[in-house]
Structure 1
Amino acid sequence: MDRLLAEVSRLHFPRLPATPAQVADFEARVGWMLNEDLRTFYLHCDGCDLFVSSPDTRFRILPLEQIMRARVAIRGKDRDEAGAASLYTLVDMQDSDYLVLDVARSVAGRYPLFDAWHETFPELVPVASSFGEFLEKALHSGNRAFWLSSGPMEE
């Protein structure tokens, strides 16, 4: 993560770090713990824009205060028919779609990430097995949704 976070700080648009108290407040609010990659990221920066700054960014990694259940963000309902309670927004793709993590599917202490397209949610498309894997692929994507396209990278 150190190499990836150095790249975020050098070439992208990080927010100020979250404090340990903000992390604790977040974990109390959502009822689950940040895994090692996420904790390291949020103590380095409380969210960031990749490649270009908001409002034009494609990848906006949300600050802790804006992470919420995906079914609330996408469907506006906190009920089971609107999607699993274990899915949380993590990356706002700026087109009413999100990358979400599933805290019920932790593997080796890491939460997998999925594309949550608003038209078909709660159907999900796998993106990465962990936040660290997502961040590495995103940073080398040329600002494209790497899990959807095999076309040339954007400059």
Structure 2
Amino acid sequence: MAMDQLLAEVSRLHFPRPPATPAQITAFEVRVGWTLDPALRAFYLHCDGCTLFETLPDAKYRVLPLSEIQRARQAIRASDEDEDGAASHYTLVDMQDTNFVILDVAAPKGGCYPLLDAFHETYPEEAPRIAASFEEFLEKALRSGNRSFWLSSEPVKE
């Protein structure tokens, strides 16, 4: 499904925040030292974060606003040391259970950052890839029935 269709679904059926401004995106990119890929840029220009399926505090999927994105090792381990995770791993989705979906900004493929599962008990030793892009992640999340699709043995709804 195309990103514009996914964003329309987020607006129609879920809980988006107001859009980020171009100035907020620029300030974010200066702060973190990397640029949003095209799907992430489209998302943040559409909404500066959202929850899927439910509102807080019950939401499982909380796509973070730009102001809350940080190095995964800081969010998960409260450390900025290399042994606590790669400097290129950044939080993107708070799964509301001390686990995150993170981006690896050092490993773009086809202009997109891969998304990884950062389980607080095994990160950084284990951080399996769960989507090749934010667009793929968002589509699977929207079809998940509010489950962590990468952990479920049930097929994702089409």
Deviations 1:16-61 (A, max 9, x none): 0000000000000000000000000000000000000111101000
Say if 1:130 and 1:152 are closer, same or farther in 2 by CA, change over 3 A.
Answer: closer
Whole-angstrom distance in 2 between the partners of 1:124 and 1:82: 12
| 2:3 is equivalent to residue 9 of structure 1 | no
Whole-angstrom distance in 1 between the partners of 2:46 and 2:145: 23
Aligned residues: percent identity? 67
Number of matched residues? 153
Whole-angstrom distance in 2 between the partners of 1:55 and 1:61: 13
Deviations 1:99-125 (A, max 9, x none): 000000100110000100000000102
Residue equivalent to 1:97: 99
> Counterpart of 2:73 in structure 1: which amino acid?
R
Residue equivalent to 1:76: 78
> Counterpart of 1:120 in structure 2: which amino acid?
T
Residue equivalent to 1:137: 140
> Counterpart of 1:137 in structure 2: which amino acid?
K
TM-score normalized by the length of structure 2: 0.95
Give secondary structure in 1 for the equivalent of 2:80.
Answer: coil
Pairing of 1:1-155 with structure 2 (within 5 A): 1-122=3-124, 123-151=126-154
Whole-angstrom distance in 2 between the partners of 1:152 and 1:120: 25
Give secondary structure in 2 for the equivalent of 1:57.
Answer: coil
> Counterpart of 1:83 in structure 2: which amino acid?
G
Give secondary structure in 2 for the equivalent of 1:84.
Answer: coil
Whole-angstrom distance in 2 between the partners of 1:125 and 1:52: 26
Segments of 4+ moved more than 3 angstroms: none
Whole-angstrom distance in 1 between the partners of 2:49 and 2:19: 8
Superposed displacement of residue 151, structure 1: 3.4
Deviations 1:48-84 (A, max 9, x none): 0000011110100000000000000000000101110
TM-score normalized by the length of structure 1: 0.97
> Counterpart of 1:71 in structure 2: which amino acid?
R
Superposed displacement of residue 126, structure 1: 1.4
Whole-angstrom distance in 2 between the partners of 1:126 and 1:31: 22
Q: Give the aligned CA root-mean-square deviation in angstroms.
A: 1.0
Whole-angstrom distance in 1 between the partners of 2:137 and 2:61: 11
> Counterpart of 2:35 in structure 1: which amino acid?
M
